[in-house]
Structure 1
Amino acid sequence: MGWLFYTDRCVTCTTDERAEIARLCTFETETRRTVLLKASKVGSTWYAAVNVSTLDGTPIDDASYVTDPDGSITFGVVVLTRYDEGSWGYKDMEESAGPVESRAPLSLLNLLSELKDPESYAHAWRQRCRDWAAIPDYEEGDRIRLVAPVTLSEGSTCQVVTATHYRRRGQKRRCYRIEETGGLVRISKATLAGSALLGSAKEAASPVLAEFFNWQRS
């Protein structure tokens, strides 16, 4: 399915977007009921958990999903969104369609029914979401070793950095101080995948926490 844009500009903010996605995911046919259980927005992409049940209460027999104890199934939906000259548009796809965007929160993934095929597109998509969620969210002062050296714009590399920040227009923005030079660099969350915590800011402030972190690393 391609993009669909609302030219009447009835959707202008995140609250409107959430309401429209809820409307799109909530309907009934002659035999089934479909409802939105949860929707989360990451960047410009919405992730949704959609539940399907029968009106007469009989269990759903689905080729892709294991039926839940209540007889229903819940699947994941990815909704790409963007604004074009004030008009809001969306492109939705079910998780088995192999969506590229894969940053659904774990709280949403936990609502989804189990999959029958461990080699399916949906299974791979869920794993990418879990991999993204597993990337650490470092705190100010944490010393980190990246899984591989990062090449900077002038050609040098860095691998050990310390989480810090700089201010721009009155707002704190995360950056990292290079251990070798003391310079600052912006690092994407994806680059932090597989990184290791060498020293914690909390550890430095407390001997008890230092002993705990040393035990974790041993």
Structure 2
Amino acid sequence: MGWLFMSRHAMGGHETPKAYLDAQFTYARDRLDGGSDGLRILDSALVGLTTYYAAAQVTRDGKGGEVFAVVCLIRWNPRNRNGEHFGYKDIDETMGPSEDDCPERILRLLTSSDNEYALQWRRRCLANLRLRARKLTEGMRIRLAAPLSFTDGHEGTDFTAVKHRRGIAFRPVDGSGLYHIRGVRTLAWEVLPQTRVHKTLFA
């Protein structure tokens, strides 16, 4: 499916992309035999205002069944002068989305799947969660798997984490200056062991 754009007035009174999509993916349709088929959102999240993730449960006659992941690419610009305030493109996990920042609480709601694209996507999401769980503390030395180049011409792999303002910056182990490494928690790196010199105590 392609992109669908709309104005805020066409969002049915929903104030946010998340609220609109939660409502869009929650429905029940009557069958000729008197029963109903539908879908309901168990949980959802809007990550970075660019991607919507949801655990969607298939329902039949009001009873819940399979739970799969819905992923929507989001464009949200409430001040757009052309009236295209909100746009989205919906896909599901069986299409192997490139976006793989799904929160863990949503992944835990999904039922088992034998679709290889869905399984690969779930594995990528879990791998990213493990990377982001790594802690960076002041004084920690790390070595990047691949060298990074900066605008001042510096290129390197080994850095020391330094507290800077409200976050973490990085100083080259054998140099000076402070650098910000975007998305450092998702990059491949290892912690460098440090030799600590202990004071000698005399009796």
TM-score, normalized by length of structure 2?
Answer: 0.76
Give the aligned partner of residue 49 of structure 1. Answer: 55
C-alpha spacing 1:72/1:165, structure 2 compared with 1 (3 Å)? same
- Preserved contact between residue 132 and residue 190 of structure 1 (Cα < 8 Å): no
> Number of matched residues?
180
**Partner-residue secondary structure (3-state), 1:139:** coil
Shift of 1:157: 2.4
Give the aligned partner of residue 69 of structure 2. Answer: 76
- Preserved contact between residue 128 and residue 186 of structure 2 (Cα < 8 Å): no
- Preserved contact between residue 17 and residue 76 of structure 2 (Cα < 8 Å): no
- Preserved contact between residue 146 and residue 191 of structure 1 (Cα < 8 Å): no
Give the aligned partner of residue 28 of structure 2. Answer: 28
Q: Unmatched 5+ residue regions in structure 2?
A: 31-35, 197-203
Answer with 1 or 2: which has the greater Rg: 2
Supply the distance in 2 between the matched residues of 1:5 and 1:19 (Cα, whole angstroms): 16
Supply the distance in 2 between the matched residues of 1:76 and 1:151 (Cα, whole angstroms): 37
**Partner-residue secondary structure (3-state), 1:23:** helix
**Partner-residue secondary structure (3-state), 2:16:** helix
Supply the distance in 2 between the matched residues of 1:190 and 1:100 (Cα, whole angstroms): 19
Give the aligned partner of residue 211 of structure 1. Answer: none
**Counterpart residue identity of residue 29, structure 1:** R
Aligned 1:91-170 pairs, distance under 5 A: 91-117=89-115, 120-135=116-131, 136-167=134-165
Shift of 1:173: 4.5
CA RMSD of aligned residues (A): 2.7
Give the aligned partner of residue 213 of structure 1. Answer: none
TM-score, normalized by length of structure 1?
Answer: 0.71
C-alpha spacing 1:126/1:15, structure 2 compared with 1 (3 Å)? farther
Supply the distance in 2 between the matched residues of 1:15 and 1:199 (Cα, whole angstroms): 50
- Preserved contact between residue 4 and residue 88 of structure 2 (Cα < 8 Å): yes
Supply the distance in 2 between the matched residues of 1:56 and 1:189 (Cα, whole angstroms): 43
Q: Unmatched 5+ residue regions in structure 1?
A: 58-70, 205-218
Q: Percent of aligned pairs with the same residue?
A: 32
**Partner-residue secondary structure (3-state), 2:159:** strand
